[in-house]
Structure 1
Amino acid sequence: MSDYIWFEGIPFPTIGFKRETIEEVRNNFLIREEDTVILTYPKSGTNWLIEIVCLIQTNGDNKWVQSVPIWDRSPWVETKVGYEALINKEGPRLITSHLPIHLFPKSVFSSKPKMIYLIRNPRDALLSSYFFFRETNLVKDPGSLGTYIKWFLKGNVLYGSWFEHIRGWLSIRELDNFLLLSYEDLKRDPRRTIEKICDFLGKKLEPDELDLVLKHSSFQAMKENNMSNFSLVTEDTVTNGLKLMRKGTTGDWKNHFTVAQAEAFEKVYQEKMAGFPPGLFPWE
């Protein structure tokens, strides 16, 4: 791939995205109070969270998640196809977005949708992005992990800077219609985290229904579900076969970063994340 669509200094893929759509979404897309919005930086557990929320909505019944592609169940609002699907959809909508807060629909601040923001150790998000996107035509090929780390730290990757994304969305973390979750907590204690999501959404599940949500949103279940593992993506976006589900672990970055790369990342991380309260991020 030779280039991106650049919008206000942030790169987006040329496939499936248009500058006009991103502008239209920000200024004119109406978020409704009954909507549920899933917000993440890329490769932070987005599809896992979508699957969980879909299963919560169906009381653990997996018919929906096994019959409808994940991008149709919860469309990405900033994509051309997702935007068109959402503006024509009636009733409560499940909406997904990787947009930073300043590009997200302005209407979100005059309504009170349920917003769930899932964060992940940026080192793991970086590594996951590196392995995932190089199998697609969506990004420039960095050639090496070292180059990709430099791009990531400068924000020259899809959807821009992880640090700015986090700072922007966490500026509204005290709102009662905003739920902050972490990939690490979801891995460590999925049952408790799913219960927290249920409480936030006002959805009461029986113990056996909760068991079904856990079962059908497991890494193995999603890996085997063609509606959730992106195996249905068309060839024009894929080069070597898209593998959405790689490892689904935490801390894998330690197996790939050199000491020098880890130190360089930590230096920028400490500078960019100064001012956040201790204990906010589970990877620290």
Structure 2
Amino acid sequence: MTDDYLWFEGLPFHVLGFSSKVIKEVCTKFVIKDEDTVLVSFPKSGSHWLIEILCLIHSKGNTMWIQSVPIWERVPWLESDEGYELLKEREGPQFLASHLPFHLFPKSLFTSKAKVIYIMRNPKDVLVSGYYHQTLTNFSKKPESLKQYFKWFLQGHVPYGSWFEHIRGWMSMRDRENVLLLSYEKLQKDPRSTIEKICQFLGKKLNPEELDSVLNNSSFQVMKQNKMSNLEILPETLISKEFKITRKGICGDWKNHFTVAQAEAFDKVYQEKMVGFPKELFPWE
């Protein structure tokens, strides 16, 4: 258990599995190749769900890969110690995932033709999911209560900093041809059409049976039972026995947690921070 964060250039990161040396090397030296596929998100926005979908698209619905290889090896996290070592050793096209904010991302991305998928989620749900994640894991500082975590979130004192700054930074890429914006809400509401959209973006063609397999095997219930995807094979030094990456998998759970005053306070900050962005960009109320 830890009582703090790893701080890098003013941003908090998890202590376990991360180091300033690796994060600095990633930011300054890592080369993103034209044939790579990069998944970016703020933590707790649906990245593990999207990784499962990408893996199943890649295997044309065959489940052998997702059932035999841990999710963090299939799609390594770029800025983590283990993920960086895996990615450095791999050749050819690769999937990689990251929560890094725009200004810390390897500059090679912005001159490459790599496919970038950015998935976002209602920040109120991100906050609640982040609270449970941080409470049930030992990667970094644990909140004493949701009230405390609520304050941390609005201050940007959670892993990877401010949700608002993360979104604002990556939204500057939204009109590029090699960038696809997705939302947790639309993926949940209509997973089939979202998966078809991802296939089109990646230039992948699946027949109806393959598409059905991707859809079925990336569902919340199936992922929850897949020990290679739900993180239950992580050691107990990192997670509690109650922890699973697939907690509820729903939209709007924040309504079961926020007080009226918290909802109003959050809305006020949201309106201030997101001024200038068209509301239709974000599929939440």
Same fold (TM over 0.5): yes
The CA deviation at 1:240 is: 4.3
| Corresponding residue for residue 68 of structure 2 | 67
The answer on whether the counterparts of 1:184 and 1:283 sit within 8 Å (CA) in structure 2 is yes
Structure-2-length-normalised TM-score: 0.98
The answer on whether the counterparts of 1:231 and 1:243 sit within 8 Å (CA) in structure 2 is yes
The CA deviation at 1:236 is: 2.0
Say which is worse superposed, 239-248 or 212-221, in terms of deviation. 239-248
CA distance in 1, matches of 2:79, 2:235: 19
CA distance in 1, matches of 2:278, 2:247: 32
| Corresponding residue for residue 245 of structure 1 | 246
What runs of 5+ residues in structure 2 fail to find an aligned partner?
A: none
CA distance in 2, matches of 1:238, 1:189: 32
CA distance in 2, matches of 1:161, 1:210: 36
Residue 183 in 1 paired to residue 184 in 2?
yes
Q: Look up the SS of the partner of 2:279 in the other structure.
A: coil
| Corresponding residue for residue 160 of structure 1 | 161
Structure-1-length-normalised TM-score: 0.98
The CA deviation at 1:13 is: 1.1
Q: Look up the SS of the partner of 1:230 in the other structure.
A: coil
The answer on whether the counterparts of 1:136 and 1:240 sit within 8 Å (CA) in structure 2 is no
Q: Look up the SS of the partner of 1:279 in the other structure.
A: helix
Q: Deviations over 1:212-252 (max 9, x none)?
A: 00010000110000000000111221244422111000001
CA distance in 1, matches of 2:211, 2:139: 36
CA distance in 2, matches of 1:56, 1:238: 29
CA distance in 2, matches of 1:255, 1:244: 19
The answer on whether the counterparts of 1:101 and 1:168 sit within 8 Å (CA) in structure 2 is yes
CA distance in 1, matches of 2:113, 2:81: 24
| Corresponding residue for residue 148 of structure 2 | 147
Code of the residue aligned with 2:30 in structure 1: it is F
CA distance in 1, matches of 2:148, 2:4: 17
Q: Deviations over 1:34-81 (max 9, x none)?
A: 000010100000100000000001111111000000000000000011
The CA deviation at 1:278 is: 2.6
Percent of aligned pairs with the same residue? 61
Aligned residue pairs: how many?
284
The answer on whether the counterparts of 2:77 and 2:84 sit within 8 Å (CA) in structure 1 is yes
Q: Look up the SS of the partner of 2:40 in the other structure.
A: strand
